[in-house]
Chains A and B, each alone.
Chain A
Amino acid sequence: MREYTVTSKSEAETIDIAADLAGRLRGDEVILLSGELGAGKTVFTKGICRGLGLEDIHSVGSPSYTLVNIYSARFTVYHMDLYRLGGDSDITDLGWEDFLGEGVIVIEWADKITVDFPCIRVRIEAGEDENRTITIRDAS
């Protein structure tokens, strides 16, 4: 396991940080994103997709309502979101475990997952203006 903290001054920098992380992925990781409203979880996911070679990162949008967005990059990216979900049973109902091992799974609002398992946890904290503190804890 390793843990490190980086700071970002803009959306562009957040995308670079995420793309850098994506460059080290094997293709079957689960990445759990947490951070409050507007912290930049979807922006971070855009960066992961760019790092995985997705051409049109404009197509990466929030899955809060669609629940799952799927992108074909170097690995398939399953972009999910627990924003609208309540407890653990709702989350199990979502069936996200079906995608395990099929590609990179990115889950927003992941602090709702209470069980521990091998994954990469990313916490984004908003500071002044566009500043963000990003903590990455890799236990994948």
Chain B
Amino acid sequence: MTKKSRPRTGADSRPAVFLGIETSCDETSAALLTEDFEVLGSVVLSQDEIHAPYGGIVPELASRQHIRSIGYVVAECLTRSGRTLSDVDGFAVTQGPGLIGSLLVGLSFAKGLSYCFQKPLYPVDHLSAHIHSVLIEHPSIPVPALALLVSGGHTSIFLMREKLDVVCLAKTRDDAAGEALDKIAKFLDLGYPGGPVIDRIAAEGTAGTFPFSLPQMSDGSADFSFSGLKTAAVRLIREQELNAGHAALPDFLASFQQAVVDALCRNTKKLIQKIRPRSLILVGGVARNSMLRRDFLSLAEQHNIPAAIPSPGYCTDNAAMVAALAVEQYKQGRRPDPALDLNAYSQFQDLRT
């Protein structure tokens, strides 16, 4: 580790400490990490059992909800960490992509802190932060690493050539995998959040009972498509009159979920064989899915390379991953631009074929 050869910059020669802030979508989150990726404190509002003094409602997709929560979330994170803002050596914030109004709350708040305490503010790409969430628990992941990012909003494969050099190799052309799972759960009225509900019911069923054909890209690309699987599922639900109490539901959900997982793993495998990475990374909210974790690990085993999957709490949106990416930037001596602005687009070089 480089930490041994570099002088500590934190107060009293302690490891430097970074405060990450994430407000790009539904979650208001803050986390404090050391330069050794140790999480001192992490608060994620929509998942935590905190019922904040302003009413305790789950933040709803909206900037004004972030405005209500941000101060409380940061204060709670510091309290849990046993630190104060003066202990922070650098700030990190999600710069995009996401909802402009929501991003603006986190960015303005972080800019204010950075200005007030005269400490650097590291801008972080939301998707890149997801990929770097593995560093929290696997800081020495071998590169080049092939990273499958699967969430409600995104389904992509990236190549991490070096820790801060990430390019996009494939992405979905329509729905994200998590979205397809959630929408089918909602269509069947199974409750929220849909992905974990399907995972639970599918565990009692047998995959392959219901037929699903995997999407084929006529141009040979490793891009994904889940819209067709979703439409096929809706058709089967109608034809077989499936509903929440139906005896065949576990078999149906196991079959559907397996088809989604197969599509994810098939395209990952295709790129493993083409790129020959030294490790595999699985990140994003759907990385919590048990079937996907199992098959992804088995894929890594087949190719005899290590696989890193974050703990469930670091798979969904969180600020620890934002701070982790800032820590990596700091370790590599990157100096953030004080004039940083919002970024509605993701910044990856697109190497899709």
Among A25-33, A57-65, A113-121, which stretch is in contact with chain B?
Answer: A57-65
Q: Other than the known A62-B175, A65-B154, A95-B63, what 10 A-B pairs have Cβ atoms closer than 8 Å?
A: A37-B230, A37-B231, A58-B173, A61-B175, A62-B179, A64-B183, A66-B153, A67-B99, A86-B60, A98-B100
Contact B227 A65 (CB under 8 A): no
Contact A67 B61 (CB under 8 A): yes
Contact A70 B344 (CB under 8 A): yes
Given A67-B25, A95-B63, A62-B176 contact (CB < 8 Å): yes
Given A66-B153, A85-B61, A37-B183 contact (CB < 8 Å): yes
Q: CB < 8 Å: which of A37, A43, A95 contacts B99?
A: A95
Interface status of A84 (Cβ within 8 A of chain B): yes
* Per-residue B-contact encoding for A83-126, CB less than 8 Å = 1, 0 else: 11110001001110010000000000000000000000000000
Contact A64 B62 (CB under 8 A): no
Given A90-B60, A95-B101, A65-B176 contact (CB < 8 Å): yes
Which of chain B's residues have a CB closer than 8 A to the CB of A94? Answer: 61-62, 99
Interface status of B35 (Cβ within 8 A of chain A): no
Query: Could you tell me the distance in whole angstroms from the C-beta of B168 to the nearest C-beta in chain A?
Result: 11
Contact A38 B99 (CB under 8 A): no
Query: Could you tell me the distance in whole angstroms from the C-beta of B95 to the nearest C-beta in chain A?
Result: 15
Kindly state the separation between the CA atoms of A74 and B18 in the bound complex, as whole angstroms: 42
**How many A-B residue pairs lie within 8 Å, measured between CB atoms?**
78
189-204 of chain B: CB within 8 A of chain A: none
Contact A64 B179 (CB under 8 A): yes
Interface status of A42 (Cβ within 8 A of chain B): yes
**Tier of interface size on chain A:** 20 to 34
Query: Could you tell me the distance in whole angstroms from the C-beta of B1 to the nearest C-beta in chain A?
Result: 36
Given A62-B176, A65-B152, A95-B101, A37-B187 contact (CB < 8 Å): yes
Contact A61 B99 (CB under 8 A): no
Query: Could you tell me the distance in whole angstroms from the C-beta of A63 to the nearest C-beta in chain B?
Result: 8
Which of chain A's residues have a CB closer than 8 A to the CB of B173? Answer: 58, 61
Kindly state the separation between the CA atoms of A68 and B61 in the bound complex, as whole angstroms: 11
80-97 of chain B: CB within 8 A of chain A: 97
**Chain A at the B interface: SS class:** loop
Contact A90 B231 (CB under 8 A): no
Contact A68 B99 (CB under 8 A): yes
Query: Could you tell me the distance in whole angstroms from the C-beta of B23 to the nearest C-beta in chain A?
Result: 13
Given A66-B153, A95-B101, A61-B344 contact (CB < 8 Å): no
Which of chain A's residues have a CB closer than 8 A to the CB of B99? Answer: 67-68, 94-95
Which of chain A's residues have a CB closer than 8 A to the CB of B154? Answer: 65-66
Given A37-B234, A93-B65, A66-B97 contact (CB < 8 Å): yes
Which of chain A's residues have a CB closer than 8 A to the CB of B187? Answer: 37
Interface status of B266 (Cβ within 8 A of chain A): no
Kindly state the separation between the CA atoms of A22 and B198 in the bound complex, as whole angstroms: 38
Kindly state the separation between the CA atoms of A38 and B236 in the bound complex, as whole angstroms: 13
Which of chain A's residues have a CB closer than 8 A to the CB of B329? Answer: none
Contact A61 B61 (CB under 8 A): no
Contact B230 A38 (CB under 8 A): yes
Which of chain A's residues have a CB closer than 8 A to the CB of B235? Answer: 38
Kindly state the separation between the CA atoms of A33 and B113 in the bound complex, as whole angstroms: 42
Kindly state the separation between the CA atoms of A83 and B152 in the bound complex, as whole angstroms: 12
Which of chain A's residues have a CB closer than 8 A to the CB of B179? Answer: 62, 64-65
Contact A93 B230 (CB under 8 A): no
* Per-residue A-contact encoding for B2-14, CB less than 8 Å = 1, 0 else: 0000000000000
Which of chain A's residues have a CB closer than 8 A to the CB of B100? Answer: 68, 95, 98
Kindly state the separation between the CA atoms of A65 and B61 in the bound complex, as whole angstroms: 10
Q: CB < 8 Å: which of B61, B101, B151, B178 contacts A90?
A: B61
Kindly state the separation between the CA atoms of A70 and B103 in the bound complex, as whole angstroms: 15
Given A95-B63, A95-B99, A61-B174 contact (CB < 8 Å): yes
Kindly state the separation between the CA atoms of A61 and B227 in the bound complex, as whole angstroms: 10
Query: Could you tell me the distance in whole angstroms from the C-beta of A72 to the nearest C-beta in chain B?
Result: 9
47-65 of chain B: CB within 8 A of chain A: 60-65
Contact B62 A90 (CB under 8 A): yes
Interface status of B125 (Cβ within 8 A of chain A): no
Which of chain A's residues have a CB closer than 8 A to the CB of B153? Answer: 64-66
